[in-house]
Amino acid sequence: MRAWRRLDVRLFASYALVALVVFGALAVTVRVVASARFDDDIKSVAVSGGREGESHNVFVDSLDSALWIALAASLGAAAIVSTLVARRILRPVREVRDATRRLANGHYDERVAEPGELELAELARDVNRLAVELETTERRRARLVSEVAHEMRTPLTTIEGYVEGMLDGVFEPNEEVLVAVGEETSRLQRLASDLAELSRSEEGAIALHVRVVDLGKLAATTADRLRPQFDEKGVNLAVRTGPPLPVEVDPDRIAQVLTNLFGNALTYTPEGGRVEVRANRDHDQATIAVSDTGIGLSPEDLELVFDRFYRVHGPTRPAGGSGIGLTIARGLARAHHGNIEAASDGVGTGSVFTLRLPIARPEHPSGDG
Ligand code: ADP
């Protein structure tokens, strides 16, 4: 019975029990004890030829003694019931407290058994949910540290190899070697700034200075900024903007997201290819679809590319960055209540990355983008 598991119902029942005991004790003592004493006393009053009014005193005395006995019985009952109830309630509370202390000490696998009382069961469930969250965060943190260590190892080993080679006289300290060392150093530098950005985006600690801008215009200006790089590689860049797309965003951050998507499209599209940027409205969302005629993605990689440090490996794939770009980009899109999705018909068929952001509500006047 669900009602019986509620704490308020159980507390009410325990008070009702004490009230019943009081009532019972009063009934018994008044009927048995008081009436017996009254009978005895009234007889002795009659024998001694007592005066008028004495029978009244006899009645009050016997009632008093009955009340004292009833009081003792009710206090006893209250003591027993309250001890039992408190033990029942405090046991799970103590278990929750012990569990939270163990959690605080880093035992994230700690879980509390759900007690019978509904309200306490909810508390236990909340504590368990907290434990799961802490465990996940801790596991992610540990994984991140090992991934970072792994990412740093390759450039550091390369630099160490060159430096030791030069010290041992295997390499001349010529320009070629120094350029190679310089490249690895900038890789480490890029990794450091990507990591700082990643941890900020994962903590949700990026301050967003939002205002209403037109997403289509923002995409067009961002594309224009990157156009020289497209021209240099010989990749055609086309931008198609449609109806106005007012979105309430931090324009710098969304420009950063778009730069990442355009940059990836350029990196993974060979010379002579084509990248198209289309701004559109899809119900209450503004979308920017970046499609390229590049190397494409396999179905398994469509979701994985958003994972930290994930890079698709293959003999013909150009070397990209550290595999954090899309993780940060998606984090930023989600911080704006939007998202990024990837689609591709398969390797070699090009891919489409779509940024979705909610359209700003009409009470906000549209800005200039
Ligand atoms: P990176 O900095 O290495 O480019 P990203 O997080 O931006 O990292 O991308 C992750 C991986 O997703 C890349 O290594 C690449 O293999 C794949 N990828 C991203 N964009 C595209 C694209 N337009 N076409 C094909 N593959 C892509």
Q: Give the residue, by CA position, lying nearest to ligand 1 atom 16.
A: 312
Residue 74 lies in a domain: yes
Instruction: Quickly tell me which residue has 């797309």 as its tokens.
Output: 245
Confidence of residue 326 (pLDDT cuts 50, 70, 90): very high
Confidence of residue 367 (pLDDT cuts 50, 70, 90): very low
Q: pLDDT tens-digit profile of 7-43?
A: 888 889 888 988 888 888 888 888 887 778 778 877 8
Q: Give the residue, by CA position, lying nearest to ligand 1 atom 25.
A: 296
Can you give the residue range of the structural domain that contains 57? 3-105
Closest CA to 367 of 214, 252, 216: 214
Closest CA to 290 of 229, 351, 358: 351
Q: pLDDT tens-digit profile of 205-224?
A: 778 889 999 999 999 999 99
Cα(355) to centroid(ligand 1), Å: 15
Cα–Cα distance measured from residue 302 to residue 307, given in angstroms and rounded to the nearest whole number: 10
Query: From the alpha carbon of 194, which atom of ligand 1 is closest?
Result: 2
Structure tokens at 220: 């067009």
Q: Which helix (H) or strand (E) holds 251?
A: helix 251-267
Same domain, 329 and 241: yes
Same domain, 218 and 346: yes
Cα(257) to centroid(ligand 1), Å: 13
Mean pLDDT of the chain: 86
Would the pTM count as exceeding 0.85?
no
Cα(323) to centroid(ligand 1), Å: 7
Cα–Cα distance measured from residue 91 to residue 95, given in angstroms and rounded to the nearest whole number: 6
CATH of the domain at 132: 1.10.287.130
The predicted structure's pLDDT at residue 323: 81
Residue 230 contacts by C-beta under 8 Å, 6 or more apart in sequence? Answer: 236, 237, 266, 275
Which of 48-57, 97-106, 248-257, 346-355 shows the lowest per-residue confidence on average (mean pLDDT)? 48-57
Higher-confidence position of 280 and 318: 280
Q: Give the residue, by CA position, lying nearest to ligand 1 atom 20.
A: 264
Query: From the alpha carbon of 320, which atom of ligand 1 is closest?
Result: 3
Cα(65) to centroid(ligand 1), Å: 91
Query: From the alpha carbon of 312, which atom of ligand 1 is closest?
Result: 16
Closest CA to 180 of 192, 198, 166: 166
Which of 67-81, 113-127, 147-161, 190-204 shows the lowest per-residue confidence on average (mean pLDDT)? 190-204
Tally of domains within the chain: 3
Confidence of residue 190 (pLDDT cuts 50, 70, 90): confident
Tally the residues of the chain: 369
CATH of the domain at 337: 3.30.565.10
In order, the DSSP letters of 3-67 are GGGSHHHHHHHHHHHHHHHHHHHHHHIIIIIIHHHHHHHHHHHHHTTPPTTHHHHHHHHHHHHHH
Same domain, 243 and 343: yes
Same domain, 157 and 217: no
Ligand 1: residue of 297, 298, 326 to mutate (most ligand atoms within 8 A of CB) is: 326
Closest CA to 89 of 209, 169, 6: 6
Same domain, 221 and 353: yes
Same domain, 237 and 327: yes
Which residues, judged by CB distance below 6 Å to any ligand atom, belong to the binding site of ligand 1?
264-265, 268, 292, 294-295, 297, 305, 310-312, 320-327, 351
Q: Give the residue, by CA position, lying nearest to ligand 1 atom 9.
A: 323
Same domain, 222 and 180: no
Percent of the chain surpassing pLDDT 90 = 37
* Candidate ranges 11-25, 42-56, 287-301; pick with highest mean pLDDT: 287-301
